[in-house]
Chains A and B, each alone.
Chain A
Amino acid sequence: MAKNFKFAFFSALLVFALAVPVLNLRLTLDGITLVVTGASAKVQWSIVACAIGIFVWQLLRDGIAGLIPQRQGPLVPEGVSNFLTLPSTQRWGLVALIVIGLIWPFFASRGAVDLATLVLIYVMLGLGLNIVVGLAGLLDLGYVGFYAVGAYTYAMLSEYAGFGFWTALPIAGIMAAIFGYLLGFPVLRLRGDYLAIVTLGFGEIIRILLRNLTEYTGGPNGISGIDKPTLFGLSFDRRAAEGMQTFHEYFGIAYNSVNKVIFLYLIALLLVLITLFVINRLLRMPIGRAWEALREDEIACRALGMNPTTIKLSAFTLGASFAGFAGCFFAARQGLVTPESFTFIESAIILAIVVLGGMGSQLGVILAAAVLTLLPEVAREFNEYRMLMFGALMVLMMIWRPQGLLPMQRPHLELKP
């Protein structure tokens, strides 16, 4: 009881320490000065009530837990969970998703398709980071840096050289890969936390560089008026630029702005499918196995004659190139890139997608990307508490499903006699 009392006391104190600055103190503008005011009495009383509630709960936790009958076994029955994590099930799940993904936009609203495109960008980013974090086990907190490199590559190519989306796409991927390679060289000697810190710094450096190279990148204003992708030279605008034809004129249909949104969505879907295909192949290639082996035991890898640096570098470079593709598409979709699109919080969201989805699992990453992109949209009224919800979601995941939403089982290899 004495131990419980102490714990309960500190829990209550923690509630105060967290809730008072976050909920109680408000900054209001009085003329041109900021004034700190307290929240309403109702808020203050609810903080006190919460603290007391936590105190009582922690104090009597053992007693209360005894009263509630314990549910036996995991949340999802063993058989179902096993079935869901089988590679074959996940493959069929993917096929079904793809078919739905292809048909669905033609019947959906413009806003929904636009949102789905955003989800697909995050899927691509999640899948790319999954190579680095999930497979190779390198904690990369600056992944958004490569995303920015891809986006600005297309933006600048379009602005200064008049490149179209499709020619810029591979260049953006290659540029991001080169950045990944250059960063990887000095950084991959580091391990774990140190690697995370350095990559975090790298992401920030890229953003700050983009903001300050005003001459080339437009500084904080970014670059706008980036060309949208075309379908074999057919533009989706209402009026085509000089010497170009529009999609609706060519096919003789009425102009509809939804077409453009659907087209962008389909490009994103195509890019995601390519990403999925490449990663699926990589997993079954020697390099994919080497990544996993490296994650598990670097020393054993060295003893078997594998060069850890090259293997890590390949993971870093490939992961970065996917971010480059995603960035290029992002620039084309927005038509505008600014450094503020590439803040640390983006890296954190992408990492959250990987962790939430289950390291190494592709269907899981897709699911998590959908959840994390749609959740803030669905719960717009809770916008202020978005980060709080993120945190809560993460904590709950770590308690109930530390392996992620849909972790993948190992593929079964047939031995032929």
Chain B
Amino acid sequence: MSRPILEVSGLTMRFGGLLAVNNVALSVQPKQVVSIIGPNGAGKTTVFNCLTGFYQPTSGVILLDDEPVHQLAGHEIARKGVVRTFQNVRLFKEMTAVENLLVAQHRHLNTSFLGGLLKTPSFRRSEKAAMEYAAHWLEEVDLVDVANRPAGTLAYGQQRRLEIARCMMTRPRILMLDEPAAGLNPKETEDLKALIALLRDEHDVTVMLIEHDMKLVMSISDYIYVINQGTPLADGTPDEVRQNPAVIKAYLGEE
């Protein structure tokens, strides 16, 4: 086993009297697909929110490449290469698909005021490169035909794909997908599976997944964490988790 890219220990999140996440530990290996599963309300999304800086965890340590990041704000963590999607689609709906992708490259562009005002060669180069990168990913997720349509008018499955492409614009190291298959039909779910595999295998991205579609989770995950009522229940490879009596009990109820 190589060194984990993300190491979480003792992660606890308390909202007043409610213990939403209790002592969760994760160890994520680079270039793997790691899933977090659990019943509704188990605290999976809260874990994501803590990892990406949207919540400040009550206690616990989050190490990204051995560097503690749990004190940082959301955009600072994103700059370190941890990028996420949300349960509901959060595209910039009135902007076109390609503009969505350009916005996400904000940090990698020439943002100098004078440069843009005078259209200096370096500004043009940077804009051109951004456009090419966006075009490349539109092709990758098969959205070239709708590049100039406002994102809000795309079909639901297309919006989901565009969201993943938008995340890729930031050149992430860890991509966190919060229920990416929710609302997709079986064909689209298959495409999503292929896309996630492509991200991991071709683009060296570590993917963390929250998902309820067990078929998808079991077929693509390299490692699975199970959380129930905020508390870690089990972890292991898909086969191990499938046979774990505690998991079966939590999901199917007592025999």
Contacts and interface: CB of A to CB of B under 8 A. Distances in A.
B74 A302 contact: yes
Given A281-B116, A305-B75, A296 B92 contact: yes
B95 A292 contact: yes
Nearest to B149: A410
Contacts of B78: 302-305
B113 interface: yes
Contact of B98 (A296, A308, A413): A413
Given A286-B111, A302-B75, A416 B92 contact: no
B95 A410 contact: yes
Interface in A297-335: 297, 299-308
Contacts of B99: 289, 410, 413
B83 A303 contact: yes
12 contacts: A286-B106, A289-B99, A289-B102, A292-B92, A292-B95, A301-B103, A302-B73, A302-B75, A303-B83, A303-B85, A303-B90, A415-B147
Contacts of A292: 92, 94-95, 103
Contacts of B83: 303-305
A300 B111 CA distance: 20
A290 B99 CA distance: 10
B106 A415 contact: no
Contacts of A293: 92, 95, 100, 103
Contacts of A284: 116
B107 interface: yes
Given A285-B116, A308-B75, A417 B106 contact: no
Contacts of B91: 297, 300
A412 B148 contact: yes
Contacts of A289: 95, 99, 102-103, 106
Contacts of B76: 305
B166 interface: yes
B111 A285 contact: yes
Contact of B92 (A300, A308, A417): A300
Nearest to A302: B74
A287 interface: yes
A290 B103 CA distance: 6
A296 B95 contact: yes
A86 to B, nearest CB: 13
A297 B90 contact: yes
A32 interface: no
A278 interface: yes
Nearest to A314: B113
Contacts of B100: 293
A282 interface: yes
A293 B148 CA distance: 16
Instruction: Give the contact-size bracket for chain A.
Output: 20 to 34
A204 B99 CA distance: 38
Given A299-B90, A410-B150, A287 B113 contact: yes
Contacts of B90: 297, 299-300, 303
Given A286-B106, A289-B99, 13 more contacts: A281-B117, A281-B119, A284-B116, A285-B111, A296-B94, A301-B103, A302-B54, A302-B74, A305-B79, A305-B107, A410-B148, A413-B102, A416-B131
Nearest to A287: B111
Instruction: Give the contact-size bracket for chain B.
Output: 35 or more
Interface of B: 52, 54, 73-76, 78-79, 83-86, 90-96, 98-100, 102-107, 109-111, 113, 116-117, 119, 131-132, 134-135, 138, 144, 147-148, 150, 166-167, 169-170
A395 to B, nearest CB: 25
B109 A413 contact: no
Contacts of B92: 292-293, 296-297, 300
A282 B103 contact: no
Interface string A1-21: 000000000000000000000
B154 to A, nearest CB: 14
Interface in A380-417: 410, 412-413, 415-417
Contacts of A285: 111, 113, 116-117
B112 to A, nearest CB: 9
A304 B93 contact: no
Interface string A360-383: 000000000000000000000000
Given A282-B116, A285-B111, A300-B91, A415 B131 contact: yes
Contacts of B138: 415
A299 B99 CA distance: 17
A299 B104 CA distance: 13
Nearest to A413: B98
B131 A306 contact: no
Contact of B96 (A303, A410, A417): A410
B120 to A, nearest CB: 12
Nearest to B171: A305
Contacts of A286: 102-103, 105-106, 109-111, 116
Nearest to B130: A286
A292 B113 CA distance: 17
Nearest to A307: B75
A315 to B, nearest CB: 12
Contacts of B135: 415-417
A299 B75 contact: no
A408 to B, nearest CB: 11
Contacts of A410: 94-96, 99, 148, 150
Contacts of A299: 54, 86, 90
B170 A305 contact: yes
A303 B54 CA distance: 9
Contacts of B134: 415
A308 B111 CA distance: 15
Nearest to A289: B103
Which of B75, B78, B84 has the most chain A CB atoms closer than 10 A to its own CB? B75
Contacts of B166: 304
B147 A413 contact: yes
A413 B103 CA distance: 13
Contacts of B102: 286, 289, 413
